[in-house]
Chains A and B, each alone.
Chain A
Amino acid sequence: MSVIPKTRKEMPLTPLSSPTVGAMGKTGSWRTFRPEVYYSKCTRCTLCWVYCPDAAIMRQEDDSPQIDYDYCKGCGICANECPVKAITMKREEE
């Protein structure tokens, strides 16, 4: 929940924010490279889910990853961490 103060008196001493989905808008539009998962190679180790700095990877029931492209910024950490190279980064226009 976010409360936007109108006056100085309503302001907190320091800006505080609670976890919210997409407070800055859909940051997926910042992406240059897009991670793509090859589910046949994926071993369900969940390392990509652990390492994603934006919590843009969902863990599905079978522990396979599902990337939320609305918020994935395309940093490539998941592809780098994947021990079996089941994630590749592709240029957005391709």
Chain B
Amino acid sequence: MPQMIIDTANHIAGYAAKAARVKVVAAYPITPQTTVVEKIASFVESGEMDAEYIRVESEHSAMVACVGASATGVRTFTATSAHGLALMHEALHWASGSRLPIVMAVVNRAMGAPWSIWPDLSDSLSQRDTGWIQFYCADNQEVFDTIIQAYKLCEDERVFLPAMVCLEGFILSHTYAPAKIPEQEKIDDFLQPYKSGWILDIDRPLSHSNLVSPEWYMEFRFMIQEAMENAKKLIPEIDKEYGKRFGFEYGGLVEKYQCEDADLIILTMGTMASDAKIAVNRMRKGGLKVGSARVRVFRPFPVEEVGRLAEHAQMLVTIDRHVSFGMEGFLATETKASLFNQKDLPLVAGFLAGLGGRDVTSETIEKIAKKSLGWMRAGKVEKETEWVDLKE
């Protein structure tokens, strides 16, 4: 029988690491991530989880320890937030460049200064170009399911890349909600033991990821890009297969809600999509043809699927819990980039909301959508980037 539990998303991430039979965890505590690795530490201590738990002096060391462990051919996990992730930055490139399928829970937290412990996506989105796959979750169950799916994906020889499974701090991390933990044998059957592409072995010594001349470097970069393209094809397949076995499916790369006949589609990432669905339901009752699309995977970016959203819709509206200073939110940028070579371009408006943990309710989203509908009817976006609920 599957086990029904009521727990926080952080603890559920710990359950997922246990269910994935992770063999090495190296981590350093940081709010709001800490309870992920505390849960894992308690599993290791009680003997419920057969893993090495490496305590390190910083997040940089945590990631480097994961790189070393993963290179010996074992399944490796870590978790971090905000400044911890920023401190890992250099080592993130070593993980992806060495093609090691490490899975890391990133509990999203706004970057300081000014100091904040509340959620936004600026920490993980700043790591956009590190060669890590990025998933964004909308509820506690999805955190569990995505960690299992991430190992399945990353350890596929067509991919061999690391992945971040991102969940917003406090909104999910410390919030109790029910989740279904499938039977261990069924997870074992879905997620077979990791077979690495190459291995550090003291009997056959080698060094990896060392100096390459300009004659070879570009090809190694191209192969990472190729792996990302492969991931884009595999993510929906894995999600579907997982859904068939365990009953939870998330639309692959983009979770679409009421998009088929929508004039206007609201694009979000993470938990905001749940509020967007409530807003859509309310507006549909009022006769407004609005839909919601949650970008579940940010890298590889689902260019084709986002592009297809514009086949019927006249307008796409992005809501970013993040800003790239001097430009706009990444979701706005990537959405527009996905559309560029199409005929009949829709209107696109970008809104910035919920930075530093400010609440984004279904009412906030409804307000954004109604304002955008006005622009859609007028055929002109009045403001390309708008900060929502900004004090005068």
Query: A-side interface residues toward B, CB under 8 Å?
Result: 8, 11-19
Pairwise interchain contact B207-A14, C-beta atoms closer than 8 A = no
Which residues between 181 and 228 of chain B lie within 8 Å of chain A, taking CB atoms? 197-198, 204-212, 216, 219-220, 222-223
Pairwise interchain contact A18-B198, C-beta atoms closer than 8 A = no
Identify A17's interface contact among B99, B160, B197, B206, CB under 8 A: B206
Known contacts A8-B219, A8-B222, A8-B223, A13 near B206 by CB under 8 Å: no
Cβ distance A10 to chain B, nearest Cβ, rounded Å: 10
Measured in the bound complex, the distance between the Cα atoms of B98 and A40 in whole Å is 48
Known contacts A8-B222, A8-B223, A15 near B198 by CB under 8 Å: no
Cβ distance B98 to chain A, nearest Cβ, rounded Å: 5
Measured in the bound complex, the distance between the Cα atoms of B219 and A14 in whole Å is 10
Pairwise interchain contact B205-A15, C-beta atoms closer than 8 A = no
Measured in the bound complex, the distance between the Cα atoms of B98 and A16 in whole Å is 10
Whether B329 is near chain A, meaning CB under 8 Å from some CB there, is no
Whether B97 is near chain A, meaning CB under 8 Å from some CB there, is yes
Cβ distance B181 to chain A, nearest Cβ, rounded Å: 33
Query: B-side interface residues toward A, CB under 8 Å?
Result: 97-99, 160, 197-198, 204-212, 216, 219-220, 222-223
Measured in the bound complex, the distance between the Cα atoms of B197 and A13 in whole Å is 8
Pairwise interchain contact B206-A14, C-beta atoms closer than 8 A = no
Identify A13's interface contact among B99, B211, B216, CB under 8 A: B99
Measured in the bound complex, the distance between the Cα atoms of B214 and A94 in whole Å is 38
Query: Can you name the residue of chain A whose Cβ is closest to the Cβ of B71?
Result: A14
Pairwise interchain contact A14-B205, C-beta atoms closer than 8 A = no
Pairwise interchain contact A12-B219, C-beta atoms closer than 8 A = no
21 A-B pairs, CB-CB below 8 angstroms? A8-B219, A8-B223, A11-B219, A12-B197, A13-B160, A13-B197, A13-B198, A13-B223, A14-B97, A15-B208, A15-B209, A15-B211, A15-B216, A15-B220, A16-B207, A17-B206, A17-B207, A17-B208, A18-B204, A18-B205, A18-B206
Measured in the bound complex, the distance between the Cα atoms of B99 and A8 in whole Å is 16
- Greatest chain B CB density within 10 A among A12, A14, A15, A18 is at A14
| CB-defined contacts of A19 to chain B, threshold 8 Å | 205-207
Pairwise interchain contact B99-A14, C-beta atoms closer than 8 A = yes
Cβ distance A58 to chain B, nearest Cβ, rounded Å: 19
* Cβ-closest 4 pairs across A and B: A13-B99, A8-B219, A14-B98, A14-B209
Pairwise interchain contact A16-B219, C-beta atoms closer than 8 A = no
Cβ distance B223 to chain A, nearest Cβ, rounded Å: 6
Known contacts A8-B222, A11-B223, A16 near B206 by CB under 8 Å: yes
Identify B216's interface contact among A11, A16, A17, A18, CB under 8 A: A11
Measured in the bound complex, the distance between the Cα atoms of B206 and A18 in whole Å is 4
| CB-defined contacts of B197 to chain A, threshold 8 Å | 12-13
Name 7 extra pairs, CB < 8 A, besides A11-B220, A13-B99.
A12-B197, A13-B160, A13-B220, A15-B210, A15-B211, A16-B206, A19-B206
Known contacts A8-B222, A19-B205, A14 near B216 by CB under 8 Å: no
Pairwise interchain contact B220-A16, C-beta atoms closer than 8 A = no
Pairwise interchain contact A15-B212, C-beta atoms closer than 8 A = yes
Cβ distance A80 to chain B, nearest Cβ, rounded Å: 25
Pairwise interchain contact B198-A16, C-beta atoms closer than 8 A = yes
Pairwise interchain contact A12-B198, C-beta atoms closer than 8 A = yes
